[in-house]
Chains A and B, each alone.
Chain A
Amino acid sequence: DAGVTQSPTHLIKTRGQHVTLRCSPISGHKSVSWYQQVLGQGPQFIFQYYEKEERGRGNFPDRFSARQFPNYSSELNVNALLLGDSALYLCASSLRGMNTEAFFGQGTRLTVV
């Protein structure tokens, strides 16, 4: 069984552009959470989706948005990129949204230049 898969693995964007990051959860998992990990720090919660609905949002500006599709995969969108958005973006999937059951993907390394 495949784990959580994220694409792309690496991405370079220019300031002001927008980006879409993708996550496929483990088969059967209905919840996806997104985290941002800046180099040298722990991950920070961005969003949690469960059954295609947003269940929680962290302290991030409206430039960050996400959605979950009927097949439970998810996209994270970031508009008007800033240099400070450079980070590793992690996706975690779980069956019901319980973090003790969550598995993380390898992340997408976004570099904004």
Chain B
Amino acid sequence: GESVGLHLPTLSVQEGDNSIINCAYSNSASDYFIWYKQESGKGPQFIIDIRSNMDKRQGQRVTVLLNKTVKHLSLQIAATQPGDSAVYFCAENINTGTASKLTFGTGTRLQVTL
């Protein structure tokens, strides 16, 4: 498959450890935020979202934390597995009145070592 990003920040984690991926966003008007996983040669895959009026949301093995004061978002993956290796993007959703558009961050490559 084709590499999604060759020069992205990389996080290396041992299998079984927890991963924390961070993201800074810019627009205070964003009404919700989404984390995506993108594997080589594929489109982004929805992981979890969080509304702007929340500060924490949990899914299966994943937790998203939102700190609106410093405009920071994080994705925590528990018990990281080799299948979690991918590029992770945060995206902020902005409604422009008639459209909903996503503004993506630059991405972080997660490498899971055995």
Please indicate whether A and B come from the same complex rather than being unrelated chains: yes
**Residue positions of A touching B, CB distance < 8 A:** 4, 33, 35, 37, 39-45, 48, 50, 55-58, 90, 92, 97-100, 102-107, 109
Please name 7 pairs of A and B residues whose Cβ atoms are closer than 8 Å in the assembled complex, sorted by A: A4-B43, A35-B102, A41-B106, A42-B91, A45-B103, A97-B99, A104-B44
Question: Which parts of B48-87 form the interface with A (CB within 8 Å)?
Answer: 49
Nearest A residue to B7, CB-CB: A40
Question: Looking across the interface, which residue of chain B has its beta carbon closest to that of A91?
Answer: B43
Q: Are the C-beta atoms of B104 and A103 separated by less than 8 Å? A: no
Chain B residues within an 8 Å CB radius of A57: 99
A107 to B102, CA, bound (A): 17
Residues of B within 8 A of A (CB): 2-8, 32, 34, 41-46, 49, 89, 91, 93, 96, 98-107
Q: Are A42 and B45 in contact (CB under 8 A)?
A: no
Instruction: State whether A106 and B42 are in contact (beta carbons under 8 Å apart), knowing that A39-B6, A40-B8, A100-B34 are contacts in the complex.
Output: yes
Q: Are A42 and B43 in contact (CB under 8 A)?
A: no
A109 to chain B, nearest CB (A): 7
CB contacts (< 8 Å) of A109 on chain B: these are: 2
Q: For residue A65, give the distance in angstroms from its CB to the closest CB of chain B.
A: 16
Indicate whether A42 sits within 8 Å of B105 (C-beta atoms), given known contacts A98-B100, A99-B100, A109-B2. Answer: yes
Which of the residues A41, A44, A55, A56 comes within 8 Å of B107, measured between beta carbons? A41
- B101 surroundings in chain A (CB, below 8 A): 33, 45, 48, 56, 58, 99
Report the separation of the CA atoms of residues A97 and B102 in the bound assembly, to the nearest whole angstrom: 11
